[in-house]
Amino acid sequence: MPQDLQIELTSAPAPAALATEWTALEARAQHSFFVSWTWIGAWLSALPSGLRPCLLRARRGQRVVGLALFVPGRDRTLPLIGGRALWLHATGRPELDAIAIEHNGPLVDANEPDVAQAMLDYLCRRMGPWRRVTLPHLQSAAAGAPAASAGVSARRDDVASWLVDLHAVRTSPSGYVGLLQAKTRYAIRRTRMACEALGPIRLTVAEGRAAVQEAMPRLLRLHARRWQRREGGSSFLLPFTQRFHDRLLPSACERGEVQLLSVTVGPHELGHLYSFVHRGRVSFYQSGVDYELLGPKMSPGLLMLALAIEHNAALGHQAFDLLGGTSHYKKDLATYQETLSTVVLERHDWRLALETHLRARVVPWLRRASGDAPDWRRWLRTWLGRIGLGLSLGVLALAVDACSDEDDAAIAARGAAQTVHATR
């Protein structure tokens, strides 16, 4: 640990007190929107009351130089193994983590580049109560491996995050579309022509909180219509996700960190794009698009994003972030990529040894048995529940049979007693 640096893990203070501490450090930090108080404060206020985060704080003297929130809970990586775990700015529960934090990491003073690493090293040395600490979707600057610690190992999973260099868009002689591959250029131009046949294309920006809150239900309506025919549904429509965004929008609008764009074609509503704006980076988060207006062979989503990218390039922003994921459109529209890393710190014990064996030998079989279901853990829990129910019913049937046998024996005994009494 660097000299004069004190690190502690304590219960998180009340949000009002934490807000003052967090925003003061935020002004001195280099961080993404997802670690700003706008996001973190909304997340804390939306969490169920039973979840109580811990605060990891780093100080140099009286000056706070690092902050991070961890939620403790039961590890759910593999059923039946259990154990306690911590999650950085997340909960480990899919229905609550569907808000999809990205470019995550501790909030640290920009003049203290070694603090984030020291905070992770501190956790490694104090893994006793927890068997696993998960740091999801770290931005590259915060994804360094912790220092070696006895009995603790680290695993890392990298995914691509796709971006558009808006400076390159501004300096391109053929504009943004000219930077793309021929197939994507063709799809956007063909869709633009189909739109222009219906009327002029118009892009508008929702100005202020009232306009954003008026446009959001229209985005949700189109988004839900798109996803109602798709298996698995949309995480954006989950109750917790909606509660989170209801809390985020007021403060984000007040700080000028929300961008809600609407695109119309003549009298028709084509769709809406919901993004966050933070320090020159525009992060595209969600959309609602009318995919039925132009027919199945058109690409209205690509056209709308191309219009949004051109709009933000004209505003002078630095990057348009399509965020992480495997969707083809992200790679098709991006001009470069970054890396998001999920780092998992694991304490060596019998659970880890058993889990390693299950991952290597049993999990592949479970995936095949589930038909490669997207959520094979849910499939396994369902079958374990059915087996448990079957065993419970079997035990109940045996108990009923046993009671019946006892009743029959009692009746026979009473009958014998009555016979003896009658003979007397």
Q: What is the pLDDT of residue 287?
A: 97
Residue 41 pLDDT class (50, 70, 90 cuts): very high
Asked whether the predicted pLDDT for residue 422 surpasses 50, the reply is no
334 has pLDDT over 90: yes
> What confidence tens digit (pLDDT) does each residue in 263-276 have?
999 999 999 999 99
CB 263 within 8 A of CB 205: no
SS3 of residue 366 by DSSP: helix
Identify the H or E element spanning 381. Answer: helix 376-423
Q: pLDDT, tens digit, for every residue of 356-397?
A: 666 666 667 666 776 665 565 666 667 666 677 667 776 776
Secondary structure (3-state) at 288: strand
Backbone angles phi, psi at 133, to 5 degrees: -125, 125
Q: 411 CB contacts (<8 Å, ≥6 apart)?
A: none
Mean pLDDT over the full length of the chain: 86
Give the three-class secondary structure for 369. helix
Which residue intervals of 162-238 are DSSP H helices? 166-171, 182-196, 208-227
Min mean pLDDT across 69-83, 117-131, 261-275, 343-357 is at 343-357
Dihedral angle at the C-alpha atoms of 40, 285, 313, 249, nearest 10 degrees?
A: -50
Q: How far is Cα 82 from Cα 74, in angstroms, rounded to an integer?
A: 6
Residue 166 pLDDT class (50, 70, 90 cuts): very high
Instruction: Report the alpha-carbon distance of residue 361 to residue 27 in Å, rounded.
Output: 49
Place 416 in a pLDDT band, splitting at 50, 70 and 90.
very low
Alpha helices in 14-147 (DSSP H): 15-26, 37-46, 94-97, 115-125
Residues 6+ apart with CB under 8 A from 183: 332
Most confident of the following: 73-87, 109-123, 257-271:
257-271
* Amino acid, res. 396: L
Residue 197 tokens read as 């046949």
In the chain, % of residues over pLDDT 70: 79
Cα separation of 44 and 212, whole Å?
Answer: 22
The dihedral through the CA atoms of 174, 176, 181, 187 has a sign that is negative
Lowest-pLDDT range, 129-133, 145-149, 248-252, 277-281? Answer: 145-149
> What is the pLDDT at residue 326?
85
CA distances from 314 to 162, 189, 317 (A): 20, 20, 8
267 or 76: which leads in pLDDT = 267
